[in-house]
Amino acid sequence: MILHLFALGTIVVLASGYALPTREAERGMHPVYKADAAELRSKRASMPVMTFPSLKVEQYAEYWRSIANQTLEQQLESKMRLNTQLAKNIMLFLGDGMSIPTITAGRVYLGGEEKQFAFEQFPYVGLSKTYCANMQVADSACTATAYLCGVKANYGTVGVTAAVHMKDCFAQSQPEHQVASIAEWAQRQGMATGLITTTSVTHASPAGIYAHIANRNWENDADVQADGADPSVCADIASQLVYGPVGQNLNVILGGGRENFLPEHVRDTSGQLGRRKDGRNLIEEWRRQHTNSAHYVYTRRQLLELSNQTSRVLGLFAPYHMPYHLDSNAEELPTLEEMVQAAMDILERQSGGRGYFLFVEGGRIDHGHHDTLALRAIDETAEFDKSVRWARTHSSVEDTLIVVTSDHSHTMSLAGYSSRKNDIFGINDGQLAADDLPYATLSYANGPGYNSNYLREGGAVKRKNLRAINMKNKDFMFPTAVPLESETHGGDDVAVFASGPYAQLFSGVYEQHFIPHAMAYASCLSESRSMCSDTGISRRIR
């Protein structure tokens, strides 16, 4: 067979139309940077000469060998002895939207590419596949059903099987379509339980703990009615939290969302009107439902000053979502770490030696990404990690399993050939784009950042010069390729980090709905409690 070749620039085109890369094209994929002014990067003299220096100690091979040996020792120490003790306590930390690129960018935010989050030091890491039963790219509702209830569900639905489609009130009300969460499994065994979030406690992720709902947006009865459904048939999420069998038995409920518990004519402490049309004040109803040792709080001080006799706490610190950490009043509102501290204290006391399950969500990582506010999203990730660090250092690795993961990814990426320690929120300092303008290290595949980074001149769309923009402003929307009102989730796998009893179960690649089953196995929630003891777990031969 004779092939006819036609040379076109840096590629060779076969007669069939298939392009073969040439040596010159290959070299263009990986630019070589030199300090010689005569050989500037990409021949674009407007960029400074860059040598990309490394730390002096890193120039010695022994430095890297010592790090490798240290890592090897740590790996051997953590993996040679499998922890098969009973997981008396389980904590699931959920960084909503915490994609792998978010973690990578967060390391640089912490101080450098070589830094690590606390959860990255856990001995076992896996990958979770996040798709919904009916969608390639998931939302926080179907994923909550997966990692909390152990089944894949449809987009927009929580705590129900894939037999329920979004807004199907009748299907939601059928008991056979409702699935129990790991919190319910724990309560059946007498364990204390709690949830914490920086979003509304009625939002999709925390709702997976206690609710069965055909539309994640049905957070109050007005929302149900707005879709033409009957709240008496399909109870809203807030009412399920107060009166549902799981919600009413939670020892700890901390987050935002006051407006979903208050009547539309009643203002909360911030002056915000409630949203309920049924005239019910669910906060007062929660108070009357429980004993004098149960407390409702709405400020940081009230939370931190709870007595050691507290059996239950409902803390609603904002009308809807809690503010971003960068916007929060530290004197008025607790941090995620402080909420975890208070929760662990209550749960430990109330567990009566039976252990506890705690769900913790860093929910506003996701919101930062949706608005292409990368600085906010990554700062929220750093705050989320503080709560993980505190929980791990204040619990026993021998009897407390901690799992850290995300529900889905986002479209943010890190691109280009920037020098080490380059500002992760700045421009790529390695090269200019083909339009002779700098580009951001962080960018999104889609989202609202398109309009703030492009301008139209004479019918042409051009990029703005990022040198003239303060990219360190926490409200700067990072560039996107496709204009959308809200950036979408990504469909790639997310990481799962585990430490404690049976943490080894979380290595490998698996479906997201496997996560609660593995946690339940570690804590004997899926089998008879009589099989568990303080010294280990005796299991049936499968």
User: What tokens were used for 65?
Assistant: 């060998």
Residue type for position 44 = R
Which residue is catalytic, options 99, 128, 140, 443? 140
Q: Which residue bears the tokens 């499998």? A: 82
Rounded CA gap, 541 and 353, in Å? 28
Three-class secondary structure of residue 339 per DSSP:
helix
CA gap 526, 542 in Å, rounded: 14
Annotated ligand binding at 379? The verdict is: no
Query: Whole-angstrom Cα distance, residue 274 to residue 253?
Result: 19
Q: Is 96 annotated for ligand binding? A: yes
385 is in an annotated binding site: no
Using CA atoms, how far apart are residues 301 and 208, in angstroms rounded to an integer?
29
In whole angstroms, give the CA distance from residue 427 to residue 416. 10
Q: Is 436 annotated as a binding residue?
A: no
Nearest CA-CA partner of 350 in 392, 313, 297? 313
Measured in residues, the chain has a length of 542
165 is in an annotated binding site: no
538 catalytically annotated: no
236 is in an annotated binding site: no
Cα 318 to Cα 13, 194, 261, 300: the distances in Å are: 62, 19, 12, 11
Q: Where are the alpha helices (DSSP H) in 221-371?
A: 221-226, 237-243, 282-289, 300-304, 336-350, 364-370
* 265 belongs to an annotated ligand binding site: no
Can you tell me the distance from the alpha carbon of 162 to that of 180, in angstroms, rounded to the nearest whole number? 14
184 annotated as a binding-site residue: no
How many angstroms separate the CA atoms of 540 and 530, rounded?
A: 12
* Identity of the residue numbered 79: K
User: What are 477's two structure tokens?
Assistant: 């929307």
**Which residue type does 86 have?**
L
- Which region holds residue 271: left if phi is over 0, alpha if psi is between -120 and 50, else beta? left
Tokens 């987009």 found at: 155
Q: Quick check: helix, strand or coil at residue 153?
A: coil
The pair of structure tokens assigned to 528 is 């008879």
CB of 40 closer than 8 Å to CB of 47: yes
Quick check: helix, strand or coil at residue 177? helix
Catalytic amino acids?
140
Binding-site entries: 96, 203, 205, 361, 366, 370, 407-408, 489
Binding-site entries for Mg(2+): 96, 203, 205, 361
Binding-site entries for Zn(2+): 96, 366, 370, 407-408, 489
